[in-house]
Structure 1
Amino acid sequence: MGKKRDLTPRKKAGIKALIDAEMFSNREISTRLNVSEASVRRIKKAVESGKGLAPKRKKKCGRKPIFTPRSERCLKKICLQNRFASTNIIRTKLKDANVNASERTVRRKLKDLDFKAYRPAKKPKLTTAMKARRLNWAKQWREKDLDFWRTVI
């Protein structure tokens, strides 16, 4: 089995308190607090040797991120220059800037930076000529009474 997450400080303190009480065996402590017996043994050894219970790892575990703040700014700049660029084009431009990231990573980072993917509009919304024609039509039919409009529907 692989490594699970670190024990919480509260669980470690509970284990230490039960070890200090010297009333329970390692197995009894592990069943009471729902932790592995190996964890109890490890904490017992740390307490006996006088070491602290603080975790040794301090947020420096795992793979280093591909995107640094500087490369994120570069990615933003590339996206704002060409709004319709595909992730493949963005990736090649990033490669020129010495950022080696896959298309999927680029997509994930764009999502983190709150860029949304939209399809371009097929035509403009309303031109000024269209607006003028609509207004003229509304003015033309504005004077009709309610009986006329009932016959239309």
Structure 2
Amino acid sequence: MGKKGDLSPRIKTEVKALVNAKIFSNREISRILKVSEARVRRINNKIESGEEMSPKRKNICGRKPIFTPRTERCLKKICLENRFASTKLIKSQFQDSNVNFCERTVRRKDLDFRTCRPARKPKLTVTMKAKRLKWAKQWRDKDEDFWRSVNWYNMIFYNI
């Protein structure tokens, strides 16, 4: 079972209120609020000793980031020097400065620096135009009775 995050301030105050009321035991409080007995006991000990309820490790928990502000500036510099460099190339340039990370990390950090934009596809290419012209010439000399027998998908009647 892994570690869970800190209790929310609301649950802490509920535990505090129930402990101060001295109506329920620690076990009953843990069942009511669906928290462990150990947490109720710890909060009770904090109340008795007069400690603060806010966590001591606030904003400094978890894994330390690989990228410091300095390395982020270096990454930005490398990306601006060669805007179309692959993540593999950027990673190899960074390993020279003794910072180890994977290509995925570069991709995640690199999002703001890319200037590659997809080329806008023309609505009709030359081959598409040629095929449409060929199709139109193929059906041009059909008579009116033929076109009346055609089942139009969009149910619009055309006057020919």
Superposition TM-score, scaled by structure 2 size: 0.67
Equivalent residue number for residue 24 of structure 1: 24
More helix by share: 1
Matched residues in 1 for 2:33 and 2:87: separation? Answer: 49
Distance 1:117 1:37 in 2: 55
Deviation at 1:7, TM superposition (A): 0.4
* TM-score, scaled relative to structure 1: 0.69
Letter in 1 for 2:59: K
Structure 2 distance, partners of 1:46, 1:108, is 41
Superposition pairs of residues 3-152 of structure 1, within 5 angstroms: 3-111=3-111, 113=112, 115=114
Using the alignment, how far apart are the partners of 1:89 and 1:114 within structure 2? 15
CA distance in 2, matches of 1:114, 1:6: 36
1:104–1:117: structure 2 CA closer, same or farther, 3 Å change rule? Answer: farther
Aligned partners of 2:90 and 2:100: how far apart in 1? 11
Segments of structure 2 that go 5 or more residues without pairing to the other structure are: 123-139, 141-160
Using the alignment, how far apart are the partners of 1:114 and 1:15 within structure 2? Answer: 48
Identity level (%): 61
Q: Which letter maps to 1:31? A: R
**Aligned-pair distance for 1:65?**
1.0
Following TM superposition, by how much is the alpha carbon of 1:99 offset from its aligned partner in structure 2, in angstroms?
2.4
Give the CA deviation at 1:62.
2.0
1:77 is aligned with what amino acid?
A: K
- Alpha-carbon distance in structure 1 between the residues aligned to 2:67 and 2:99: 8
Instruction: State the Cα RMSD in Å.
Output: 2.4
* Total equivalences in the alignment: 122
Poorly superposed stretches of 4+, deviation over 4 Å: 116-119
Residue 3 of structure 2 aligns with an amino acid whose one-letter code is: K
Separation in structure 1 between the aligned mates of residue 74 and residue 44 of structure 2, nearest angstrom:
50
